[in-house]
Amino acid sequence: MKRRVTTYILHSFILATAMMAVACMDGKWETPDMTNPPYGNNNIIETDTQLVTIDSLKQRYKTVISGSSMEKITDDLQLKAIVIGNDLGGNIYKQICIQDSTGAMIVGINGTGLFPLLPVGQEILINLKDLYIGGYGQQAQLGDEYNGSIGRMSTDKWEQHVRILPGFDVAAIDTLDFDISLDKDRYAGYLVRLTNVQVGDADGKTTFAPEYKAGTTLTYNGSTNGYVHHTLGNISMDKLVLRTSTYAKFAELVIPTHPITIYGIATRYRDTWQILIRTEEDIKDN
């Protein structure tokens, strides 16, 4: 974990240094020119006739997503959205989460250290043609074909299909108060808030994710493969879980014994809501 954190810090430092070098000319500081950022494909031009919303895109491929299958997008379509989740906290792995005013979804990218390039609040434009869309456990996802299922696209492919837009506003992200009855087809992938919620198994000692050792099977609350599930409130685990990777940077935090407020990405695996905390900052006392 220490090596991964060091890599993230180095990546962030290199990016920040490069941006400062560009912004500083003859000793004068200037606002970086975000019309042509150094990451992504600046040749993607926003076209009103090609723009679709997340909801309309999911409706178009509803059968594919609900069937946990996949399909290549062959039409000239574009999607404009805001990044609401990335790999900063280690609980979201090789993915980013995006949202617009109509819905949310996951983008699978086969790379790490994405957060300096795609911070929460960053607006992006995606050229959808030739990407794959599908459902992983009915969770809508953009990516590429992998062994007949929806998987992650290469970082090179992603960079050719995304343009970083000047818009950056964390406050513009709509946070939804979570309710177990929310429509999963529309809201799976959304940023949510759970207020005054009690995390199960909190005894003053239990952490969010006990250590996982490679080559072994972690069995804890029915969780395996490096993820730990905790109950939330009095809701059964087949309906709602707090899902935390053992590689998350906050994995060793002791779960508060008192009710807290949790922010996170509300993904789904079939009929089960899975709440993914992004960073330690998503865990707040009431």
Is 253 buried (19+), middle (13-18) or exposed (0-12) by CB count in 10 A? middle
Q: Is residue 69 part of a domain?
A: yes
Q: Are residues 163 and 199 in the same domain?
A: no
Q: Among the three residues 124, 157, 172, which one is the final residue of a domain in this structure?
A: 172
For the chain, how big is the Rg over CA atoms in Å?
Answer: 19
Confidence at residue 34, expressed as pLDDT on a 0 to 100 scale: 63
As a whole number, the mean pLDDT across the chain is: 87
Q: Is residue 228 part of a domain?
A: yes
What is the per-residue DSSP string for 43-84?
T----TTTEE-HHHHHHHTHHHHHTT-EEE--S--EEEEEEE
Q: Are residues 131 and 92 in the same domain?
A: yes
Q: Among the three residues 119, 142, 172, which one is the final residue of a domain in this structure?
A: 172
**Model confidence at 7: pLDDT above 70:** no
pTM recorded for the entire structure? 0.86
| pLDDT bracket for residue 18 (50, 70, 90) | very low
Q: Is residue 215 part of a domain?
A: yes
Q: Are residues 180 and 168 in the same domain?
A: no
Is 17 buried (19+), middle (13-18) or exposed (0-12) by CB count in 10 A? exposed
Confidence at residue 27, expressed as pLDDT on a 0 to 100 scale: 44
The angle subtended at Cα 105 by Cα 49 and Cα 88, nearest 5°, is 120
**Model confidence at 215: pLDDT above 90:** no
Q: Give mean pLDDT, residues 264-283.
A: 97
Confidence at residue 38, expressed as pLDDT on a 0 to 100 scale: 92
CA dist 128 and 105 (Å) reads 13
**Model confidence at 222: pLDDT above 80:** no
Place of tokens 């002791």: 254
What is the per-residue DSSP string for 201-223?
T-SSS-BSS----TTS---BTTB
Q: Among the three residues 172, 200, 229, which one is the final residue of a domain in this structure?
A: 172
Q: Are residues 204 and 97 in the same domain?
A: no
CA dist 247 and 138 (Å) reads 25
Q: Give mean pLDDT, residues 222-247.
A: 87
**Model confidence at 271: pLDDT above 90:** yes
Contact 76, 104 (CB under 8 A): no
Q: Read off the tokens for 204.
A: 């003053």
Confidence at residue 33, expressed as pLDDT on a 0 to 100 scale: 59
Domain count of the chain? Answer: 2
User: Residue 104 maps to which CATH number?
Assistant: 2.40.50.140
**Model confidence at 198: pLDDT above 60:** yes
Boundaries of domain holding 129: 2-10+47-172
CA dist 269 and 139 (Å) reads 6
Q: Read off the tokens for 232.
A: 């939330």
Structure confidence by residue, pLDDT tens digits, 24-68: 444 444 545 567 899 999 999 999 999 999 999 999 999 999 999
Residue 63 has phi, psi (to 5 degrees) of -65, -40
**Model confidence at 85: pLDDT above 80:** yes
Structure confidence by residue, pLDDT tens digits, 165-187: 998 888 889 999 999 999 999 99
Confidence at residue 52, expressed as pLDDT on a 0 to 100 scale: 98
Contact 69, 134 (CB under 8 A): yes
Structure confidence by residue, pLDDT tens digits, 97-128: 999 999 999 999 999 999 999 999 999 999 99
